[in-house]
Structure 1
Amino acid sequence: MKTERLLLSKGAERLGIDLEEEALERLLLYLAELVKWNRRINLIARDTREEQIIETHFLDSLTLLPFLLEQRQAPQHLLDVGSGAGFPGLVLATVLPEVRFTLAEPRAKRVSFLRHLIRTLRLTNTEVHAERIEALMPDRQGCFTHITGRAVAEPALFLPLVRPLVSPETRVVLMLARTELLASIEQLPSGPWHILDIRTFNLPFSAASRVLAVVGACL
């Protein structure tokens, strides 16, 4: 795992993220379990090289860290919609034990993988909601400080989907490939939505562009 360790630590460093040794070890164990399980069930594309997995799944997920670290003085609870193999929610939970995470994933095989990893990594800050996101509504409105989802749907579909869970204090973090997808969200009928922060960057090895947009709503 020397190559994987170097790629993960070097990539995080290039993104301005400081990974502690314990967190790095857990992420490497996560990677090993993902590769092993992926031989049996389709968690990610079968032909994905480990170097690509590290960049496009693990490092991409870690780009949300600054948003959570900036508010770490207050209790935080992040909802990851359509968590799949745990990106970004379980990756973040692995390095942020003080933050609570709920992973919403309706597909049974992925739920089995997520729960296996939570046990293997001995995470006490993470729960899996094994149903569609609609089953969380409306009794958990305002329970989450942050809501995100990776490759679930474009903003025009994702924001109305999570709207029943959003309070004025909730921050929705959109993970995008380009800023053009933000063009019309302030006019969505599910709003009013307000873009509070936009950060653009490139992944450390492929230089693929990424956009993180923090969005809030007024009731």
Structure 2
Amino acid sequence: MFNHTNVIDLTHTITNGMPVYPGTSAPRIAQSSTVSQNGFAEKELTLCSHVGTHMDAPAHIINNAETLDALPTATFIGSACLLDVSSASAISLDILKKHERTIAQCDFVIFASGHEKYWGTETYFSPFPVLDKEAATWLTTQKLKGVGIDAISFDTMDASELFIHTILLSHGLVLIENLTNLASITESMFTFAALPLKIHESDGAPVRAIAILP
């Protein structure tokens, strides 16, 4: 049975003025109709495909790769494990190997960098742990659907090229960025779901990400 104690929301609310990746346009939310004036309420939304808690499709980086709307719906839900990497400067293969047996049982690996606590501040764009190339390459050899993190990117903010994105996405994984509330996950294994908006030929899309605890 699902209830408020075992279903955990891992999603930032989309708002005007929310943090976005440098160079990305911020969302604009306007009240276009109201119940008092029009008899119904409706909002007009203007937003890029990679704002807030969102998913990257392979097509985000890889030319002619799959878009989110082309992927099977089962891609977006599965078993997951949470790895605390908040004390690491980088997520190395040695760190992943310590959890190899657990990862082998997972569809998703979720990394808790601890950076979510800086959401809404400039510090959110400061250095956070990311996978190194060896670790990212090893993850592509596992039977994963995707990986997630509570930071704004899988590459460093000063990266001239998105090498880690390229490694992961070129092997068909989906990436979930800007997760939040990971500290509320109290189980080593859980069900993870991140359902993207079904946008035609979408390179990415906002998701409502949740953890369902046993």
Greater Rg, structure 1 or structure 2?
A: 2
TM class, shorter-chain normalised? under 0.3
Higher RCO (Cα < 8 Å, 6 or more apart): 2
1 or 2, which has the higher strand percentage?
2
TM-score norm. by structure 2 comes to 0.28
Q: Normalized per residue, which structure has more helix?
A: 1
